[in-house]
Structure formats: structure tokens, C-alpha cells
Amino acid sequence: MKLYRFLTGPDDASFCHKVTAALNKGWSLEGSPSYAFNAATGAMQCGQAVVKHVEGKDYDPDMKLSEQ
């Protein structure tokens, strides 16, 4: 099964740590990162898609992807 997640967060070290944690759990970067201004908070937001192949499991919409 192939899993997809889109990680988002503020433009600070916490976002980099979130992506780094995913990479160290076997996720891979997918596509280019995104960067946008959030008018509601007045801050820049980052986004990065990550994917992961998991053998021997079937997709279930109730699964928590971050725990895979």
C-alpha cells in the first residue's frame, strides 16, 4: 500500500523537525514544498507532501497515517 500525507506548519524549526521526523520513519518527500502567507495569522506557512510504501497491510480510512 502507498500512503500519502501533507505536512503543514509555521515557517520555523518546528516544521523542519516535523518533516525530519517523517523522513526518519521511512516517509519520502513527494514533489516540491509549498510556502504561503496565512492572512488570518499574519505568518508564513510551509507544506510538504510525503509518501510511504507499506508492505503487508491494506488501506483502511480509519488508520492513523502518522503511526504507519
Any idea where the domains of the chain sit in the sequence?
A: 2-61
pLDDT tens digits, residue range 7-29? 999 999 999 999 999 999 999 99
Share of the chain above pLDDT 90, in %: 93
The identity of residue 3, as a single letter, is L
Quick check: 67 pLDDT over 90? no
| Measured distance CA(4)–CA(24) in Å, rounded | 16
Taking 90 as the threshold, does the pLDDT of residue 47 lie above it?
yes
Cell output for 59: 488501506
Query: Long-range contacts made by residues 53-58, C-beta under 8 angstroms, separation at least 24?
Result: 53/1, 53/2, 53/3, 54/1, 54/2, 54/3, 55/1, 57/1, 58/1
